[in-house]
Amino acid sequence: MNEVRHIGAIPARFAPVARNSGTKLCLDWFEDIQVNLSASERRAATLGTRRTVKKNYQAAWLVKAIQCIDLTTLAGDDTPGRVNRLCAKAKRPLRDDIVEALGLAEAPPTVGAVCVYPAMVTSAVKALAGSGIPVASVATGFPAGLTPLPQRLAEIRYAVSEGAHEIDIVIHRAQVLTQDWQALYDEISAMREACGEAHMKAILATGDLKTLRNVYKASMVAMQAGADFIKTSTGKEDVNATLPVSLTMVRALRDYGERTGFQIGFKPAGGLKTSKDAINWLILMNEELGRRFLEPDLFRIGASSMLADIERQLEHHVTGRYAALTHQALS
């Protein structure tokens, strides 16, 4: 299964991603932007129909998806025990027999990161010690982002001090809805400064932003303010990650890259549950941005239950039989 075996580490031909230093607030980059909703929906609808991957190639894409998952628990009843269990799955997302059958025993895949609340960072850091898997923490009054700014910045600093390598911040949606771009820029810039060396993912909560134009504009402001990633959703909105929204965001980060030379990462989150979802978003990234954006330093999927479906599909690939979803360790 050479196609599966050859998808491990980031290929040597890909240069490391330079940290986004941001720019001044440039309104002329986005104020007059127009987004054609019907055209975006038509384009998104073709992603999973014009391109298909089968057999060994499908298995390779699904293993790549595992490597890009931010395995997440953001529940009110999270405990250190639950986080430890999640981290154990992060380190060994596939059963040993599946790894062996795929020819990946020499370099078993792991997930891209584990994402938790700030209070659970210490447990996650301890459980993942020596694995190389980063800990991501939500912060800034997740999911609403409506606590006072000093408290939001303090929460970032707390999570970083506990060992978080990545911070998923939430923006103040009212600043987008009222088009107060300076306020949005200033707050995200302050959050980026509070993150220090930790990479910052800016959650736009796109389901609350009403229009694709607002999504594009908020994406551009977040990147100008120094975001390393832009992320669709908290997973708590009524509408979370969709392909038309994701298409709008990846075109915004492509435009930003063309203007500045910086490659910005993208993270869809919320409502992504199946192997088909994983492949559809990988196809989006590949077609819109190219092969470089299929690596975890530029692409993440915020998910929890998706991993169980991917493992089930890979088990079918190597055995020819579908197990019940409850057979997987995280179902």
Residue among 64, 267, 277, 297 flagged as catalytic: 267
| Whether 267 is catalytic | yes
Q: Report which of 97, 102, 100 is spatially closest to residue 55, judged by C-alpha positions.
A: 102
* Residues ≥6 apart with Cβ < 8 Å to 161: none
Q: Measured between alpha carbons, how far is 248 from 296 in angstroms, rounded to an integer?
A: 20
| Whether 231 is catalytic | yes
> What are the respective helix, strand and coil percentages of the chain, to the nearest 5?
50, 10, 40
* Residues ≥6 apart with Cβ < 8 Å to 49: none
Residue among 64, 89, 201, 231 flagged as catalytic: 231
Instruction: Please check whether residue 310 is in contact with residue 62, taking contact to mean a CB–CB distance below 8 angstroms.
Output: yes
Helices (H), the chain: 2-5, 37-50, 55-67, 80-91, 96-101, 121-127, 149-161, 173-177, 181-195, 212-224, 243-260, 275-289, 306-319
Q: Report which of 116, 140, 278 is spatially closest to residue 203, judged by C-alpha positions.
A: 140
Q: Measured between alpha carbons, how far is 178 from 214 in angstroms, rounded to an integer?
A: 10
Cis previous bond, 143, omega within 30: yes
Residue among 64, 70, 168, 297 flagged as catalytic: 168
Catalytic residue list: 168, 231, 267
